[in-house]
Amino acid sequence: MKIVRDIMTKDVKVCAPHDSVVAAAKLMRDINCGSIPVCEGKKVVGMITDRDIVISCVADGKDCNITHCHDCMTTNVISCSPDIDAHECARLMSEHQIRRIPVVQNGEIVGICAIGDLATVNIFVNEAGDALSQISQ
């Protein structure tokens, strides 16, 4: 049995709520990722995606340099424990149609688990694929 701690990314890049969406977008570009946790200290308070930035800022004609992450982010963040079974993590991704889950322990972010992390574990390839097809619908 693999647990999330075994497959998650531990070096998580995050934004602060008052960071500009330009800073978030540059971070996404630099790490080749479409979503970033938004944290106050080590506490996850939101997630911001490239889609959030486009829909809530660019499409509305807002100035991306002065629009903050907290203006666009999702606040009802689904997270998991590092000790959760990888099967359960895949189920959560599928159920909530998300591709990345912040991993939280004692209220602090300790990692992030992406659909790609699940796919690297051979026994979860089909499950991760199923989760991805559900997420993509």
Please give the C-alpha separations between residue 33 and each of 62, 99, 106, in angstroms, as whole numbers.
Answer: 23, 11, 26
pTM score, whole prediction:
0.85
pLDDT band at 123 (very low <50, low <70, confident <90, very high): very low
Those residues whose C-beta lies under 8 Å from the C-beta of residue 124, and which sit 6 or more positions away, are 2, 86, 87, 90, 118
Q: In this predicted model, what pLDDT tens digit does every residue of 13-66 receive, in sequence order?
A: 999 999 999 999 999 999 999 999 999 999 999 999 999 999 999 999 999 999
Fold designation for 4-135: CBS-domain (3.10.580)
Q: In this predicted model, what pLDDT tens digit does every residue of 68-107 receive, in sequence order?
A: 999 999 999 999 999 999 989 999 998 999 999 999 999 9
Q: Where are the domains of the chain?
A: 4-135
Can you count the helices (H) and strands (E) in the chain? 7, 4
Instruction: Indicate the pairing of strand 35-40 with strand 43-49.
Output: antiparallel
Token representation of residue 11? 């070096």
Q: Tokens 């993590």 belong to which residue?
A: 89
Q: What is the dihedral of CA 126, 129, 134, 137, to 10 degrees?
A: -150
Whether the CB-CB separation of 126 and 118 falls below 8 Å is answered with: no
Can you name the residues that pair with 93 across neighbouring β-strands?
none
Please give the C-alpha separations between residue 113 and each of 11, 45, 110, in angstroms, as whole numbers.
Answer: 11, 17, 10
